[in-house]
Structure 1
Amino acid sequence: MYYMIYVSQAKKPMNTAELDQLLSQSRKWNTAMGLTGLLIYRYSTDSDTGHFIQMLEGDESEVRSLFDKIKRDKRHHTVLTFGSGEIESRMFSEWSMGFKNVDDALFSELPGYARIGEASFDPAAFQQSNTAALDLLKFFHDAH
């Protein structure tokens, strides 16, 4: 099983209707392609920006194909890949696309993650290991 984790910044803050539409499109596509995963959206009131972190899992060619499509999506920019590779089994097997909309208060309670999307966030340092990103995603999965 292949997985990929990325983060990106929304071009503009997304409202509930826009997020619902994105989730609906993602679930249809992922179901058709046999993909599963989790998408987290974080809106920061301090910077008035939205950020995504997502893990996709499935057949490698399908994940890469979707990721190429994601990189071209005009709703976001600055797409940074945190990790990819092989895993023994799906982490999100029950979700064509799980989703969590988190606010600053919840995000700030998670050590090391409150800085994602802020000026002090160092993507290169975060990319050194995908363990932190996997831990964050697993936290939201286990909390559902």
Structure 2
Amino acid sequence: MNLYYTVYVSTPTRTLDDDGLRELLKVSRDLNSRFDVTGMLICLPENYIQLIEGPKPHIDQLYNNIQRDKRHMRVTTLREGPIEQRYFPDWAMALKESPSMTVAQGLVNLEDDKVLQLFNILEY
């Protein structure tokens, strides 16, 4: 399989409340499962940081959609490229809200190994 990943940062155009974040997560997981996309979204008060990974055509399309999405401003690619294996193979989309939020996998916080893994990817 031709796997590809993109990590980007963006500025939200408005703050989502808990219900808005849950709806975003539900829709993302449904669509990502359908298109074999996995990843992680970190929601900070002034920025989103997201890694998306999967088949390159699907990642390209999803990233184009994100760039046109009215919920984002200043979408900036931090890192991208082909990968041999997924960084987050079991996560149709993990959501991290600062400082912590319960997600399907359990409680995630900024010290979580998976969150640290995302930051390590950015260091390469």
TM-score (norm 2): 0.78
RMSD: 2.1
Which runs of 5 or more residues in structure 2 are unaligned? 100-108, 112-116
Partner of 1:63: 59
Which runs of 5 or more residues in structure 1 are unaligned? 44-49, 110-131, 138-144
Higher strand share: 2
Residues of 1 paired with 2:40 and 2:96: CA distance?
8
Deviation at 1:134, TM superposition (A): 4.1
Query: 8 Å contact 1:82–1:133 — kept in the other structure?
Result: no
Query: What number of residue pairs does the alignment pair up?
Result: 106
Larger Rg: 1 or 2? 1
What aligned pairs does 1:23-42 form with structure 2 within 5 A after superposition?
Answer: 23-42=25-44
Residues of 2 paired with 1:134 and 1:4: CA distance?
13
2:120 is the counterpart of 1:135: yes
Identity over the aligned pairs, expressed in percent? 36
Partner of 1:18: 20
Deviation at 1:92, TM superposition (A): 0.5
Moved over 6 A (4+): none
TM-score (norm 1): 0.68
